[in-house]
Amino acid sequence: MDFVLTSDSPESTRRLAACLASLLDAGDTIVLTGDLGAGKTCFTQGLADGLGCPTQVTSPTFVILHELEGRLRLYHLDLYRIETAREFADLGLEETLFGDGVCVIEWGDKFAEELPEDRLALDFHFDGDTSRRIRVSTFGERSSLLAAKWRGAC
Ligand SMILES: Nc1ncnc2c1ncn2[C@@H]1O[C@H](COP(=O)(O)OP(=O)(O)O)[C@@H](O)[C@H]1O
Ligand SMILES: [Mg+2]
Protein backbone atom coordinates (compact mmCIF):
# COMPACT_ATOMS: atom_id res chain seq x y z
CA MET A 1 0.00 0.00 0.00
CA ASP A 2 1.56 3.28 -1.12
CA PHE A 3 0.42 6.78 -0.27
CA VAL A 4 1.73 10.32 0.15
CA LEU A 5 1.81 12.38 3.34
CA THR A 6 2.38 16.12 3.41
CA SER A 7 4.14 18.22 6.01
CA ASP A 8 4.16 22.02 6.19
CA SER A 9 6.81 22.45 8.91
CA PRO A 10 9.62 20.63 10.71
CA GLU A 11 7.26 20.24 13.68
CA SER A 12 4.67 18.62 11.46
CA THR A 13 7.29 16.16 10.16
CA ARG A 14 8.34 15.33 13.73
CA ARG A 15 4.69 14.88 14.71
CA LEU A 16 4.08 12.42 11.87
CA ALA A 17 7.18 10.50 12.95
CA ALA A 18 6.20 10.46 16.63
CA CYS A 19 2.84 9.04 15.64
CA LEU A 20 4.56 6.29 13.65
CA ALA A 21 6.83 5.64 16.64
CA SER A 22 3.84 4.79 18.79
CA LEU A 23 2.96 1.99 16.35
CA LEU A 24 6.41 0.41 16.01
CA ASP A 25 7.40 -3.06 17.15
CA ALA A 26 10.80 -4.58 17.82
CA GLY A 27 12.48 -5.47 14.52
CA ASP A 28 10.79 -2.84 12.36
CA THR A 29 12.92 -1.24 9.62
CA ILE A 30 12.38 2.19 8.10
CA VAL A 31 14.38 3.45 5.14
CA LEU A 32 14.53 7.21 4.49
CA THR A 33 15.50 8.63 1.09
CA GLY A 34 15.47 12.09 -0.45
CA ASP A 35 17.94 14.89 -1.12
CA LEU A 36 20.07 16.56 1.54
CA GLY A 37 17.90 18.82 3.66
CA ALA A 38 14.67 17.08 2.69
CA GLY A 39 13.90 16.12 6.30
CA LYS A 40 15.22 12.60 6.95
CA THR A 41 17.06 13.53 10.15
CA CYS A 42 14.16 15.74 11.26
CA PHE A 43 11.86 12.74 10.86
CA THR A 44 14.28 10.60 12.87
CA GLN A 45 14.16 13.17 15.69
CA GLY A 46 10.40 12.73 15.83
CA LEU A 47 10.78 8.95 15.90
CA ALA A 48 13.23 9.18 18.81
CA ASP A 49 10.91 11.58 20.68
CA GLY A 50 7.98 9.27 20.10
CA LEU A 51 9.93 6.31 21.46
CA GLY A 52 10.91 8.35 24.51
CA CYS A 53 14.64 8.38 23.74
CA PRO A 54 16.29 10.94 26.03
CA THR A 55 19.31 11.56 23.77
CA GLN A 56 19.27 14.16 21.03
CA VAL A 57 19.28 12.92 17.42
CA THR A 58 22.12 14.45 15.45
CA SER A 59 23.18 14.20 11.83
CA PRO A 60 25.70 11.38 11.96
CA THR A 61 28.04 12.79 9.23
CA PHE A 62 31.05 10.59 10.00
CA VAL A 63 29.34 8.40 12.54
CA ILE A 64 27.41 5.79 10.62
CA LEU A 65 25.43 4.41 13.54
CA HIS A 66 23.81 5.98 16.59
CA GLU A 67 22.08 3.86 19.19
CA LEU A 68 19.28 5.39 21.27
CA GLU A 69 17.38 3.84 24.15
CA GLY A 70 13.64 4.35 24.39
CA ARG A 71 10.52 2.17 24.59
CA LEU A 72 12.40 0.22 21.93
CA ARG A 73 16.08 0.52 21.06
CA LEU A 74 16.44 2.82 18.06
CA TYR A 75 19.37 2.39 15.69
CA HIS A 76 19.85 5.49 13.55
CA LEU A 77 22.03 4.79 10.53
CA ASP A 78 23.18 7.17 7.82
CA LEU A 79 24.75 5.52 4.77
CA TYR A 80 25.43 8.76 2.88
CA ARG A 81 29.20 8.28 3.02
CA ILE A 82 29.24 4.53 2.41
CA GLU A 83 30.11 3.92 -1.20
CA THR A 84 30.90 0.28 -1.90
CA ALA A 85 29.37 -3.07 -0.98
CA ARG A 86 32.69 -3.92 0.71
CA GLU A 87 32.52 -0.80 2.89
CA PHE A 88 28.97 -1.69 3.83
CA ALA A 89 29.89 -5.29 4.65
CA ASP A 90 32.82 -4.11 6.79
CA LEU A 91 30.40 -2.22 9.03
CA GLY A 92 29.17 -5.60 10.29
CA LEU A 93 25.58 -4.46 10.69
CA GLU A 94 23.83 -7.87 10.52
CA GLU A 95 22.98 -8.01 14.21
CA THR A 96 21.80 -4.43 14.17
CA LEU A 97 19.68 -4.84 11.06
CA PHE A 98 18.21 -8.22 11.94
CA GLY A 99 18.04 -7.79 15.72
CA ASP A 100 15.23 -6.67 17.98
CA GLY A 101 15.68 -2.92 17.80
CA VAL A 102 14.06 -0.52 15.35
CA CYS A 103 16.33 0.60 12.50
CA VAL A 104 15.89 3.92 10.76
CA ILE A 105 18.29 4.18 7.84
CA GLU A 106 19.02 7.42 5.98
CA TRP A 107 20.08 6.72 2.36
CA GLY A 108 19.18 3.06 2.97
CA ASP A 109 18.23 2.58 -0.69
CA LYS A 110 21.95 2.48 -1.54
CA PHE A 111 22.21 -1.02 -0.05
CA ALA A 112 18.58 -2.06 -0.18
CA GLU A 113 19.38 -5.70 -0.99
CA GLU A 114 21.31 -6.00 2.29
CA LEU A 115 18.38 -4.77 4.40
CA PRO A 116 15.39 -6.66 5.79
CA GLU A 117 13.07 -7.14 2.85
CA ASP A 118 9.87 -6.22 4.68
CA ARG A 119 10.54 -2.57 5.43
CA LEU A 120 8.79 0.78 5.33
CA ALA A 121 10.32 3.20 2.81
CA LEU A 122 9.79 6.95 3.06
CA ASP A 123 10.93 9.17 0.20
CA PHE A 124 11.12 12.88 1.04
CA HIS A 125 10.52 15.57 -1.60
CA PHE A 126 10.84 19.34 -1.39
CA ASP A 127 7.53 21.05 -2.05
CA GLY A 128 8.36 24.65 -1.11
CA ASP A 129 10.39 26.27 1.69
CA THR A 130 8.85 24.39 4.59
CA SER A 131 6.64 21.97 2.69
CA ARG A 132 7.57 18.37 2.12
CA ARG A 133 5.87 15.41 0.49
CA ILE A 134 6.64 12.01 1.94
CA ARG A 135 5.93 9.04 -0.30
CA VAL A 136 5.27 5.95 1.79
CA SER A 137 5.98 2.52 0.25
CA THR A 138 5.85 -0.93 1.79
CA PHE A 139 7.61 -4.18 0.94
CA GLY A 140 5.68 -6.91 2.71
CA GLU A 141 2.87 -7.84 5.07
CA ARG A 142 4.38 -6.37 8.19
CA SER A 143 5.25 -2.98 6.71
CA SER A 144 1.87 -2.82 4.93
CA LEU A 145 0.07 -3.32 8.22
CA LEU A 146 2.23 -0.70 9.89
CA ALA A 147 1.64 1.81 7.09
CA ALA A 148 -2.11 1.21 7.20
CA LYS A 149 -2.19 1.83 10.94
CA TRP A 150 -0.07 4.95 10.52
CA ARG A 151 -2.30 6.31 7.78
CA GLY A 152 -5.33 5.76 9.94
CA ALA A 153 -3.86 7.25 13.10
CA CYS A 154 -1.89 10.30 11.99
N1 LIG B 1 8.32 20.30 6.57
C2 LIG B 1 9.60 20.09 6.92
N3 LIG B 1 10.00 18.85 7.32
C4 LIG B 1 11.28 18.63 7.66
N5 LIG B 1 12.26 19.56 7.65
C6 LIG B 1 11.92 20.80 7.26
C7 LIG B 1 10.59 21.12 6.88
N8 LIG B 1 10.55 22.43 6.54
C9 LIG B 1 11.78 22.90 6.70
N10 LIG B 1 12.62 21.95 7.14
C11 LIG B 1 14.06 22.14 7.39
O12 LIG B 1 14.77 21.36 6.44
C13 LIG B 1 15.93 20.82 7.05
C14 LIG B 1 15.89 19.30 7.02
O15 LIG B 1 17.14 18.85 7.41
P16 LIG B 1 17.44 17.34 7.74
O17 LIG B 1 16.31 16.73 8.47
O18 LIG B 1 18.80 17.30 8.38
O19 LIG B 1 17.51 16.74 6.24
P20 LIG B 1 18.19 15.41 5.72
O21 LIG B 1 18.49 14.52 6.89
O22 LIG B 1 17.16 14.84 4.77
O23 LIG B 1 19.41 15.83 4.98
C24 LIG B 1 15.98 21.33 8.48
O25 LIG B 1 16.77 22.49 8.52
C26 LIG B 1 14.51 21.65 8.76
O27 LIG B 1 14.35 22.66 9.74
MG1 LIG C 1 20.26 13.57 7.52
Instruction: Look up the CATH number of the domain holding residue 28.
Output: 3.40.50.300
CB of 127 sitting under 6 A from ligand 1:
no
Q: Are 118 and 125 in contact (CB under 8 A)?
A: no
Give tens-digit pLDDT for 84-111. Answer: 999 999 999 999 999 999 999 999 999 9
Q: How far apart are CA 7 and CA 110, in angstroms?
A: 25
Q: Is the pTM of this model over 0.85?
A: yes
Sheet hosting strand 120-126, strand order edge to edge: 3-7, 132-138, 120-126, 29-33, 102-106, 73-78, 65-69
Q: How far apart are CA 119 and CA 108, in angstroms?
A: 11
Give tens-digit pLDDT for 58-81. Answer: 776 667 999 999 999 999 999 999
The separation between CA 113 and the C-alpha centre of its own chain, rounded to angstroms, equals: 16
Residue 74 lies in a domain: no
Residue 152 lies in a domain: no
- Ligand 2 centre from 106 Cα, in Å? 6
Residue 40 lies in a domain: yes
Q: Which domain holds residue 3?
A: 1-65+84-105
> Of all atoms in ligand 1, which is nearest to the CA of residue 131?
1
For residue 82, pLDDT beyond 90: yes
CB of 144 sitting under 6 A from ligand 1:
no
